[in-house]
């Protein structure tokens, strides 16, 4: 995500490193490269030009503090301006109604139906809401089927009426059904448009007028770049929607849509899609995204994801096992599952400051743990609970059963042993020593 833009901005800001002061000459050179980086990311020319003009105005109007290098000051200015350009503050979804009605709109293929499910799952699991999904795509039977599959997957009921061809009537009936079930959120999935044609735009405008939703969201594929921004403007002229959802931000997106869309339609990006799983949805935080674009990572989001998967009861059990030297491979496997639920590996690594740049070019397998899991699943229950049982013949059997080599089995055992010792040390007061060591390294 934004790899190309991040690299080019880093090179642009590198121009100022080593300079003792900010001058009009070195700032002009830096801004020229920043503008070029934004244009390569498919940001609108006028937006890119206005952005660099604001950065120049701020940079030339400030004295460099003795504690800062010119390069560091420019990074801060660019980060602040990027944050403002993408919306400033994070904005959540409006859930004021009873039930709260959310109307989903967007072009066909933007990921609207899938994201309707992700949003329902988000509201169910993180906001303790009881959502109902309503299928209002009367043109594609497959879209109705897809929404039912998604609903079953996340445990949310779906309302549809295959005999009715009037999306306005279906939407109204869906809201009535939600009230009868005691659902407090209704998410209405409308038909995707192949293009911005008058008939289809009139249809969604009629749905909007009939149901008066608390929230109208426009779903757009981030990989379509500047086209996404133009489409958003066309939809906004008809619907006056409340916010934007960017999907497929985990792909090879250039980032132009995320950077430009707020400036063009003056509506906030509310959520982003970061993968295929139903949990792959994040509230959009402009400041955190600016950090990631500038290669600073996003530690706050990483910690939040870890906390979501943290099971206090399980943690207490593991602590007791560590204290008694009974931490086994079953426990190790459960820790791996928690990490996997946090999201895809490439996305997680991108949240670690400097990691994205350090690992640039490496192909990070989203299922990086599959060999480890295969080895552990090839062990007997006794071997998983008591790793010391693993002799040469057992290792040979495990390697054969998991499709790996004896060397890989030995490597896992070595890593497991090192991790167990470290966890034991952390419990025995070693954690304070490690913290002191880390502070001394600063």
pLDDT of residue 441: 38
Is residue 232 within 8 Å of residue 217, measured between CB atoms? no
pLDDT of residue 5: 65
pLDDT of residue 239: 82
pLDDT of residue 322: 66
> DSSP class of residue 388?
G
Q: Compute φ and ψ for 247, nearest 5 degrees.
A: -100, 165
Splitting the chain (442 residues) into consecutive groups of 10 residues, what average pLDDT does each group show? 62 59 70 80 81 81 52 75 82 84 85 89 89 88 88 91 89 92 91 71 86 89 72 82 81 64 83 82 82 61 56 66 72 73 61 51 60 88 86 91 89 81 60 45 38
CA distance 32 to 80: 18
Q: How far is CA 395 from CA 98, 385, 409, 415, 417, in A?
A: 60, 15, 7, 15, 15
**C-alpha dihedral sign at 175, 219, 80, 295:** positive
pLDDT of residue 109: 76
Instruction: Tell me how many helices (H) and strands (E) the chain has.
Output: 21, 8
Q: Compute φ and ψ for 189, nearest 5 degrees.
A: -90, 115
CA distance 389 to 379: 11
Which contacts of 237-242 are long-range, i.e. CB under 8 A and separated by 24 or more positions? 238/201, 238/204, 238/205, 239/105, 239/204, 239/205, 239/208, 240/216, 241/105, 241/216, 241/217, 241/267, 242/94, 242/215, 242/216, 242/217, 242/267, 242/270
- Whose CA is closest to 161, among 147, 180, 174, 176? 174
DSSP bridge partners of 242: none
pLDDT of residue 47: 84
pLDDT of residue 234: 79
pLDDT of residue 387: 84
pTM (2 decimals)?
0.64
If you compute the radius of gyration of the chain from its CA atoms, what whole number of angstroms results? Answer: 26
- Whose CA is closest to 219, among 118, 129, 140, 141? 118
CA distance 162 to 208: 21
**What is the number of other CB atoms lying within 10 angstroms of the CB of residue 341?**
12
Characterize the bridge pairing of strands 158-159 and 100-106: unpaired
């Amino acid at each position: 995500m934004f790899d190309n833009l991040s690299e080019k901005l880093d090179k642009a800001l590198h121009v100022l490193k080593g300079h003792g002061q900010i001058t009009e000459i070195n700032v002009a050179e830096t801004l020229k490269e920043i503008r070029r980086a934004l244009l390569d990311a498919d940001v609108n020319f006028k937006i890119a030009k206005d952005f660099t003009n604001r950065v120049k105005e701020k940079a030339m109007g400030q004295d460099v503090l003795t504690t800062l290098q010119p390069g560091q000051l420019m990074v801060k200015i660019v980060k602040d301006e990027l944050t403002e350009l993408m919306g400033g503050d994070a904005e959540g979804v409006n859930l004021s109604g009873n039930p709260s009605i959310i109307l989903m709109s967007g072009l066909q293929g933007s990921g609207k139906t899938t994201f309707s499910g992700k949003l329902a799952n988000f509201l169910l699991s993180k906001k303790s809401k009881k959502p109902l999904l309503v299928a209002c795509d009367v043109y594609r039977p497959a879209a109705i089927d897809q929404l039912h599959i998604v609903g079953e997957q996340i445990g949310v009921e779906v309302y549809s009426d295959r005999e009715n061809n009037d999306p306005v009537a279906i939407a109204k009936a869906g809201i009535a059904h939600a009230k009868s079930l005691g659902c407090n959120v209704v998410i209405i999935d409308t038909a995707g448009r192949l293009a911005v044609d008058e008939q289809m735009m009139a249809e969604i405008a009629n749905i909007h007028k009939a149901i008066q939703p608390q929230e109208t969201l426009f779903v757009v594929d981030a990989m379509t770049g500047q086209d996404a921004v133009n489409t958003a403007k066309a939809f906004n002229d008809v619907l006056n929607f409340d916010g934007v959802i960017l999907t497929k931000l985990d792909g090879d997106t250039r980032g132009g849509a995320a950077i430009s869309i707020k400036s063009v339609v003056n509506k906030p990006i509310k959520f982003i899609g970061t993968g295929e799983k139903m949990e792959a949805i994040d509230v959009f935080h402009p400041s955190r995204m600016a950090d990631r674009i500038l290669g600073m990572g996003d530690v706050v989001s990483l910690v939040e994801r870890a906390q979501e998967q943290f099971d206090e009861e399980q943690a207490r059990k593991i602590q007791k096992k560590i204290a008694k030297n009974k931490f086994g491979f079953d426990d190790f496997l459960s820790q791996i599952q928690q990490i996997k639920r946090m999201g895809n590996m490439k996305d997680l690594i991108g949240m670690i400051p400097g990691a994205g740049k350090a690992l640039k070019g490496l192909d990070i397998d989203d299922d990086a743990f599959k060999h480890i899991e295969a080895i552990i699943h090839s062990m007997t229950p006794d071997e998983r609970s008591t790793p010391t049982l693993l002799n040469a013949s057992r290792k040979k059997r495990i390697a054969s059963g998991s499709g790996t080599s004896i060397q890989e089995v030995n490597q896992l055992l070595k890593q497991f042993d090192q991790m167990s010792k470290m966890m034991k040390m952390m419990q025995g007061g070693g954690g304070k020593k490690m913290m002191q060591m880390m502070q001394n390294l600063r």
